[in-house]
Amino acid sequence: MSAVTATVLDPGSEPRSPVRLTPSTGTEQDVILTTRSEVYQQIDDQAQQDFSTPELTLPLAATVEQAVDESSPSMMVDLVLGDVTSSDPTFESSLSQIAGSGAGLTMGPDGSVSALRLAPGSAVPNVGRSALEQAFYQAVYRMVAFPEEPIGVGAVWETHQQVLSAGITIDQVGTATLVSREGGRVVVDVRVEQIPDQSTWELPNGQGQLAIESYTMAGEGTLTVDPTKPLPVEGRFTVTGEQMYVDVEGMTRLGQSQTDHVAWSTPEK
């Protein structure tokens, strides 16, 4: 995954100090990741097609296998998935073999994710593998990256990260505000906007190109971070947008609307 840059626009009020994730090796964390994606496409005057992914609930058991230290600038986080469930009973049947599958993150002390690893079990069908990939893809690009500089409550910073989405390279611009910093937890409001870096969409499997006539994708959310843990302990994020594509001859138009939902929660003991 591409690097994230963070630029402080307002350092906030005193007292100020850098926000850094500092979980030690062996730190364990249980979280629940919930995702849902609503995608609708329409070609010219044809009937609208629904490519949505129903809500998925993914219990995750995280373990910090390598903490940040003098010899390692990044931490390695291993994830084991529990019983993944869905709001769609038919779709849920494709998820029954996921429990016990592995995943992993390489993260910086600023909270940014530089690598995502997925290791679904051999019995997981392709539908389940695709659902896992999409769920984690949504999640890691909705996590907050903190600046290096000291910040206080009310601080505002801007982040930039390149995102590859369905063959389109996008500059994701985020604006984060530090809402509170109490009891060892940090609450951040985040707004994001995605801006294509190119004017064409490379279709999968070498099917050609479509010109990007218009593209909007933006949203906001709130994340609660415990710096002694690798993953958000709570949060909710929604990003929505509309896109319009045309073929090179201008004869065919493809419209798409999309809404992605991501939520984090900590299970009750």
Using 50, 70 and 90 to split pLDDT, how confident is the model at 112? Answer: very high
Q: Residue 249 — very low, low, confident or very high, per pLDDT cuts 50/70/90?
A: confident
* Mean pLDDT, rounded, for 200-216: 82
**What pLDDT, on a 0 to 100 scale, did the predictor assign at position 69?**
86
The partner residues of 189 in beta bridges, in order of sequence, read 177, 222
Q: pLDDT tens for residues 176-191?
A: 999 999 988 999 999 9
Task: Give the SS3 label for residue 135.
Answer: helix
Q: Report pTM.
A: 0.92
Residues 60, 26: contact at Cβ < 8 Å? Answer: no
For the record, the structure tokens of 101 come out as 């599958």
Residue 264: partners with Cβ closer than 8 Å, 6 or more residues away? 31, 32, 33, 34, 139, 223, 231, 232, 233, 234, 235, 236
Cα–Cα distance, 52 to 141 (Å, whole number): 19
Mean pLDDT across the stretch 110-122? 93
CB burial of 163-201 (b: ≥16 within 10 Å; e: otherwise) equals: beeeebebebebebbbeebeeeebbbebebbbebeeeeb
pLDDT digits (tens, 9 = 90+) for 53-69: 999 999 999 999 999 98
SS3 155: coil
> What pLDDT digit, counting tens, does each position of 84-98 carry?
999 888 888 888 889
Residue 198 — pLDDT band, cuts 50, 70, 90?
confident
Average pLDDT over residues 232-244: 96
Interval 95-112 mean pLDDT: 94
Check whether 17 has a pLDDT greater than 80. yes
